[in-house]
Amino acid sequence: MKETTMTYLKPIPVKTPDNSPYWDAADRHELVLQKCESCKEYLHPPGPSCAKCGSPAVSWEEIGNDIQGTIYSYVISHRPFLPGFQDDLPLIIAQVELDKVPEVKIMANVLDCDYEKIQIGMPVKMIWQDLPEGRSLPQWKPIDA
Amino acid sequence: MGKITDRYAIVGVGESERSKNSGKSPLHMALDAARAALNDAGLQATDIDGFMSYNENDSCTSHQLATYLGVRPKYVKDIMGGGSSTEMLISDAVALIEAGELNSVLIFRSMNGRSGVRMGGGGWDVNMLQTAIDGGSFIIPYGAGGPAQWFGMFATRHMHETGITQEHLGHVCTSFYEHAQRNPKAFFHGKPLTIEEYKATPYLSYPFNKHDFCLESDEANAIIVTSAERAKDCKSRPVYIMGLSSRQCHPHTHYWSDLSQVASDYVAPEVYKSAGVKPEDIQVASIYDCYSWVVLRQLEAFGFAPRGEVGNFVAEGNLRMGGKLPTNTAGGMLSEGYTHGMNNVLEIVRQLRHEYRESDRQVKDCEVGICTGWAGPDIAGAMILRN
Ligand SMILES: [Zn+2]
C-alpha cells in the first residue's frame, strides 16, 4: 500500500467531534456504529444526537471487521465530480445494506468490480483501503471477486 | 395564517437576459429582472416594500437590489437555499402581507450559474465540502460530490423498485426539449432531441446522461406578490394562489439510509388540501427538473400517476402539449434555463394568464396549475395557482 499512500490525491475523511469514533475505528480496520440508547435505533452517518428521536443519549457499538452486505443502490460516475478520481473511472459509488444491521446503509466505492456487472442485491464485503498518515477508508468488494 | 385561497396573487414576472456568460454582476441582472417584473405589473419600484431572495453565496442582496431601484424598503430578507425556496418566500410574503407588515413583495433569484459559481461543481475545497455538507465525510471521500450522484442514488433504487427505465427518463427530456423548440429564449431552442439520440448518449453519472442534467445559465428572475385587492390596480392579469405548502422535510436528517421517501411525498397532500383541488383538476404543471428522474418521482408523489405507472405516463406523451399534464412548457431547467426553479414559476404564471394564446405554446383554456419545488429529496415545496 506504500505506493498508494504516496500518490493519494482524493479527499481524506475529515474527523470532527461528532464523527471521530467512526473514523478512528476505521483507521484500526474496524467498523463502529452509533446507536441511540433511547429509541435503540442505529444512526448512520453519526451525529451529535439521535436523528430519529432527538435523544442526546448516543453511544457506539463495535461491529468488528467482518462486514458483509448487499448493494441497496448505486451510481456509476463516468466523469470525475471531485479531484483525484480521474484515474478511477468509471467509478462505482454504492449504498450497501449491512447484513448484520439492515437499517444501516453505508456509502462507499465498490472496488475490483466490473461496472457493467454491478446490480442491486449483489453481495459485497467490507475491505479497508489504507490512506496516508495511518488513515483507512472502508470500501466494498464483490464477495466472489 | 388561516385560509389564504385566492386572497393573494402573483402580479408581475420578469427576467434578465439568459446567457452562458452575462458579463454582468448578479446585482445588474437582478435589476433587469426586477424592472421587467415591475413593468409587467404596472407598478413603481417604490410600490414594493418588501424584497426577498435566495442564494448559494452567489448573488447580490435584497438590500442592494432595493437600493439600486431607488427604494428604501421596509423589509429585506435573503436566505440560503435552492430549489424549493421560491415557494417558501412566497409563503413568507403572504404571511407578512396578511399580518399587515407589508403590501407588496418582490422575490428574486439572480445567478451567474454558468460563468460564475457553477452548481455542477469544480473548484470546491474538498475539506470544506466535507464539513459544509451534513455527513459530508461519509460521501465526499468516495467521490460523491454532487447532486447527480446523490439524486442518482435515489433514482437507481426507485427505478429498480418500480420498473422505470432509462428510456422513461428520456421521455421526460424529449418532452421538455420539444417545448424548448417553441420558445426562442430557451437555451436549447433549435436543439431538438429524439429518444434515439437520447438513448445513444453515453452516461455521465449512471443512470443519467448529459440530457438528464439541468443546464447551467447566467440569469435573473423576479416575481411580485401582493394581495388580491391590490392586484386589481395592477395592469397584469393576476394569477391567484389557491394553495401553498411552503416547505416540508424528509423525516430523517441523514436520508441516505432511506431512499424510499422524499419530501414531496409530504408536500403533496398538504398543497392539495390547502388549494381544495385534486391532481385531476390540474391542467398545466411546472415540476422542478434539476434532473429528469426528479420529475418522475414528483409525478408519483403528487398523484399524477400511480407508483409503477409513472414511466408509462411520460412515455404516452402526457407531459407534452395536448397530453394530460403539459409540463415545463417553456422547456424547464433541462432545456430552457436554470434559476434554481424560478424560471418554471414564471412559465406557469404566463400559461395561466393565457399569455401565449396566439401561439402553439399555449395550454388551451388552462385554469389551474401546479408548481413544485425540490431542494433535494430532503426538502420540497409546492403551490397551486389559478387564473
Ligand atoms: Zn433515538
Each residue's pLDDT tens digit, A48-105: 999 889 999 999 999 999 999 999 999 999 998 888 999 999 999 999 999 999 999 9
Strand ranges (E), A1-145: 31-36, 42-43, 58-64, 68-77, 91-98, 105-109, 123-130, 136-142
Predicted TM-score (pTM) of the model is: 0.96
pLDDT band at B124 (very low <50, low <70, confident <90, very high): low
Residue bearing cell 456487472: A117
Each residue's pLDDT tens digit, B79-105: 999 899 999 999 999 999 999 999 999
Q: Is B129 on the interface with A (CB under 8 A)?
A: yes
Beta bridge partners of A107: A95
Q: Is A55 on the interface with B (CB under 8 A)?
A: no
- Give Cβ neighbours of residue B75 (< 8 Å, ≥ 6 apart): B49, B50, B51, B96, B101, B102, B105
> What separation in Å is there between the alpha carbon of B126 and the centre of ligand 1?
31
- Point out the catalytic residue in the list B8, B288, B291, B356: B288
A76 interaction partners in chain B (CB closer than 8 Å): 203, 205-206
- The pLDDT value given to residue A2: 45
Minimum distance, in Å, between the CA of residue A78 and any CA atom of chain B:
5
- Best to test chain A binding among B138, B166, B252 (most A CBs inside 10 Å): B138
Counting residues of chain B whose pLDDT is more than 90, the rounded percentage is 90
Q: Worst-scoring range by mean pLDDT, B2-11, B104-113, B179-188, B290-299?
A: B2-11
Q: Which helix (H) or strand (E) holds B110?
A: strand B104-112
